[in-house]
Chains A and B, each alone.
Chain A
Amino acid sequence: MFSFCADPETLGTFRWFSCYLTNGVHMSFYLSFVKVLVLLAVTAPVALSFGFVGAMAARSHFPPLSWLGKGYIAIVRGVPDIAFFLFFVIALDQAFEWTRHQILCPDWTDPIRQGNDFLVCPSAKLPLGSAPEWVHETYGFFLAVITFAIVFGAFAANVLFGGMRAVPHAQLETAAAYGMSRRQTFWRVLVPQMWVYALPGLSNLWMVLIKATPLLFLLGIEDIVYWARELGGTKTSQFTAYPHGDWRMWYFLFLLLFYLGMTRVSEIGLERLMRRLSRGQATAAGELLRKETTA
């Protein structure tokens, strides 16, 4: 990074650290923070939409749809995250490859399962074996988003389901009295009012999601915890220009600060959102806001 970094052994403490903290591995470390933030930014809305669809299905008046929604919520909430991540991602990947195999290689005669091996024709591999590494990483990231969205979508579905039930029944009856159809009642009366009841539960989920990101490493994505462990490990002078002892504690301390910072920022953001959603609602918080503005 800096020109004086050519020979780290001659450097003073401050310069040594400025070189050490800007070398290639540390850049990967910083990049992994971006990865985690992008994952959160993408997963949260996707999981929320999974949850919304799940909740809609669960309260449907058409029994099979309702069973589907309730089954999704019950099964995914009941399976431990780590089991889900280990099993589901490999299964999802193999399902994609199997489908592509059936379409792209109809003349392939060898069995797909040979002992322990899972073999599809080369053109059905996902991503293709010849694809550059970033394609593989993006694909892994995409699998991670889907898996996180399915897991957290089930919890969100349950929260939204509860939120929808918490909306006072009189509101819905009034809507019906005005001659609104079921669909109109849902979109115009129920949905705008349920968020305020769902938000505390959803904010919990958001916090859990932030802390669940280290599960990424199970999916082969090098996240911040992986790099902290790797960078903090003992380094001997034979293999690096920056030898040091076991510094994992300092790296993990830094992660602690990062996670606490994320929590604080989220708290502030969620508080604002809650205030915004309470405006004009027939709840205690909404009433308080009304008094504040009229007083």
Chain B
Amino acid sequence: MKNLILTTAVLAMSAGMAMAQTVRMGTEGAYPPYNFINDAGEVDGFERELGDELCKRAELTCEWVKNDWDSIIPNLVSGNYDTIIAGMSITDERDEVIDFTQNYIPPAASAFVAASEGVDLSGGVIAAQTATIQAGYVAESGATLVEFATPEETIAAVRNGEADAVFADKDYLVPLVAESNNELMFVGDDVPLGGGVGMGLRESDGELREKFDVAITSMKEDGTLNELIRKWFGEDATIYE
């Protein structure tokens, strides 16, 4: 009897292991329209919809996990989740630590937003989120960089005068400027930055990266990816040819 119970238990356990691995998708949840928390308290946005579709095409079970932007890479490599899908631009520096899939958003423009016209963008104080390509760009441009942990704080810094302008992904800034009652405006020229946005994975996870790459390619080919980009970023968004 004892043996029987043991055998069933072992069988049940091994059956559990044979089950499809759940892929845990790490995101920030504070960067609309890429990813944000909706009114119901769930992860929502372009990347939620994209990620769910990719998992369906790659036949994976996926689960969404929120993580602070600052520690999003360390938690990936230590195995708390399996992918980063958080509007992360593909850069050489990041590529040394983690691997990227092909991009799912083509290289898009970053832009400056200020509270008034005529801000000195090359010598003034510019706010950007910590550890972003925008922060790196500002640091090299000669302007004084002030970094903040969340995108929200970079905007607040411009509103309260702590910074002259904020430099971020244009797609993030557009809805904020549109609803600011003319308190915020785009200044200067847009700057194309980075190699597009891709999913980040551990360097040792080649197989999983392959699966997502195939799924992204199939979405690019049948046009669903372009549709999704237009839906979340507007008709003028950069799409794949």
Contact = CB atoms under 8 A, between A and B. Distances in A.
B214 to A, nearest CB: 21
Contact of A25 (B20, B22, B41): B41
A130 B82 CA distance: 12
B78 A236 contact: no
A84 to B, nearest CB: 15
Interface of B: 16-17, 19-24, 29-30, 32-33, 36-42, 44-45, 61, 63, 65-68, 71, 74-75, 77-80, 82, 97-98, 150, 152, 155-156, 159, 175-176, 178-179, 202-204
B79 A125 contact: yes
Given A119-B204, A130-B19, A236 B38 contact: no
A137 to B, nearest CB: 10
Contacts of B75: 220
A90 B204 CA distance: 19
B44 A239 contact: yes
Contacts of B67: 220
A239 B63 contact: no
A81 interface: no
Nearest to B63: A133
Given A217-B68, A233-B152, A239-B44, 19 more contacts: A24-B39, A25-B38, A90-B74, A115-B204, A117-B79, A118-B79, A129-B82, A130-B21, A130-B22, A133-B63, A133-B65, A136-B65, A229-B152, A230-B29, A233-B30, A233-B150, A236-B175, A239-B36, A248-B152
Contacts, number: 107
Nearest to A126: B79
B179 A236 contact: yes
A239 B32 contact: yes
A115 B203 contact: yes
B39 A236 contact: no
Contact of B32 (A114, A133, A238): A238
Interface in A113-170: 114-120, 122-123, 125, 128-133, 136
Contact of A122 (B21, B45, B80): B21
Interface of A: 23-25, 27-28, 90, 93-94, 97, 114-120, 122-123, 125, 128-133, 136, 217-218, 220, 222, 229-230, 233-234, 236-243, 246, 248
Contacts of A115: 203-204
Q: Which of B21, B23, B37 has the most CB of A within 10 A?
A: B37
Given A23-B39, A133-B65, A117 B202 contact: yes
A97 B78 CA distance: 11
